[in-house]
Amino acid sequence: MRVDRATGIVVVGGYGAVGRTVCTELAERFPGRAFAAGRDRGRAEAFSRQTGGRVLPLRLDLADPGSAAGALGGARVVVACAETGDAAFASEVLGRGVHFVDVSATHDYLRLVEALDALARRRGATAVLSVGLVPGLTNLLARHCADALGEEPRGVDVSVLLGLGEAHGEEGIRWVVENLDRRFEAPGVPGTVPTFGDPRTTLFPGGFGRRACYRFDFADQHVLARTIGVGRAATRLCFDSVAATRLLALLKKTGALRVLRHRGTREALVTVLGRLRLGSDGFAVVAEAEGKRGRRHSCSAWGRGEGRATGVVAALVAERLNASPPWTTACFT
């Protein structure tokens, strides 16, 4: 199947945890114009049947960006809920004048897409990146805090609590697992910092209370360092299960997480975590900006169903892009 409608919206990874929400939300507004795309046509067709045909199936393999983009036909918007690791598919999409929405949390990948800004402008297309909870809502909260300070911000701290009781998608779990035993360059810190190190205690809303959070390489901290212009930005992570958070911190400290350098071990852990339910489906995020004169301003948000929250936001952005005209054409992070 090809997308022959000039107002079609294609959701890559549309039958996954986040993609299903994006598709069903869009199908409410545009029945028969939302496409659940992925390389497994059987899963796409099964999902289409579950929606009574309001969401249409589309086979699309990101391993072949040119062929995948060719299947888009007359699509107006593409929502990427699956990450390829490079910007080849995004380049094909924007080069065809199709708007692009991405929920990825990997900074290196987002920088590659940002570099397509000139192409997007030439082709009259818009790319909206960092769409979701983290990055996404966290970026907006941090910006709000920085603006509310009334003075130039010196640093920004973002804390994220995720519920292990939620049925997270396989790709999302894999991303977290692959980043557990890494070091990364953090804004305002010389050299590199380890993931699940440098703890900071944060008071979370929603009844979660005070929790120790640990450094994690979410894209928002890198983006905020550029867009707000702060010398220091950090994003930290914890889970609603205190025991699980402490166990990971201990394993990191003792070096036990080095076993995740083996692909087989990582895949085994992804499988286990995909079946395990240790807590709730709640989430909470807290952002705090610190001024150069010591003043602080913080704000927060919380709710249930992080994957659904990401999907709803992505669907709203796609709906806005589907309007004519959307924003000034460019790449936004």
Superfamily classification of domain 133-305: Dihydrodipicolinate Reductase; domain 2 (3.30.360.10)
Q: What is the pLDDT along the chain (333 residues), one digit of tens a residue?
A: 555 555 689 999 999 889 999 999 999 989 889 999 988 889 999 999 999 999 999 988 877 766 676 777 778 999 999 877 788 899 989 998 999 999 988 899 999 999 999 999 999 999 999 898 889 999 999 999 999 988 888 999 999 999 887 766 677 788 888 888 888 888 888 888 889 989 999 999 999 999 999 999 999 999 999 888 888 999 999 999 898 899 889 988 888 888 888 888 888 887 877 777 777 889 999 999 999 888 899 999 999 988 888 999 999 999 999 886 554 444 455
Amino acid at 184: F
Within the chain, residue ranges assigned H as helices are: 17-29, 41-50, 65-70, 88-95, 107-114, 117-123, 138-148, 170-179, 219-227, 242-254, 263-275, 306-322
Contact present, 36 and 19 (Cβ < 8 Å):
yes
The pLDDT of residue 157: 95
Per-residue CA distances from 144 to 228, 247, 299, 331, 333 (Å): 10, 34, 8, 21, 15
Least Cα distance to 266 among 147, 180, 172 occurs for 180
Compute the Cα dihedral for 332, 159, 225, 87 and give only its sign. negative
Strand 296-304 to strand 282-291: parallel, antiparallel, or no bridges (unpaired)?
antiparallel
Q: What is the token pair recorded at 302?
A: 């919380």
Q: Give the domain ranges of the chain.
A: 8-132+309-332, 133-305
The pLDDT of residue 3: 59
CATH number belonging to the domain at 8-132+309-332, selected among 3.40.309.10, 3.40.50.970, 3.40.50.150, 3.40.50.720: 3.40.50.720
Q: What is the C-alpha to C-alpha distance for residues 201 and 213, in angstroms, rounded to an integer?
A: 6
**Which residues are CB-contacts of 128 (< 8 A; sequence separation ≥ 6)?**
99, 100, 101, 102, 317, 321, 332
Q: Which helix (H) or strand (E) holds 37?
A: strand 34-38
Q: What is the C-alpha to C-alpha distance for residues 22 and 126, in angstroms, rounded to an integer?
A: 18
Q: What is the token pair recorded at 200?
A: 């900071």
The pLDDT of residue 301: 95
Residue 182, classified by CB atoms within 10 Å of its CB into exposed (0-12), middle (13-18) or buried (19+), is middle
Per-residue CA distances from 3 to 9, 11, 24, 247, 303 (Å): 9, 12, 17, 47, 35
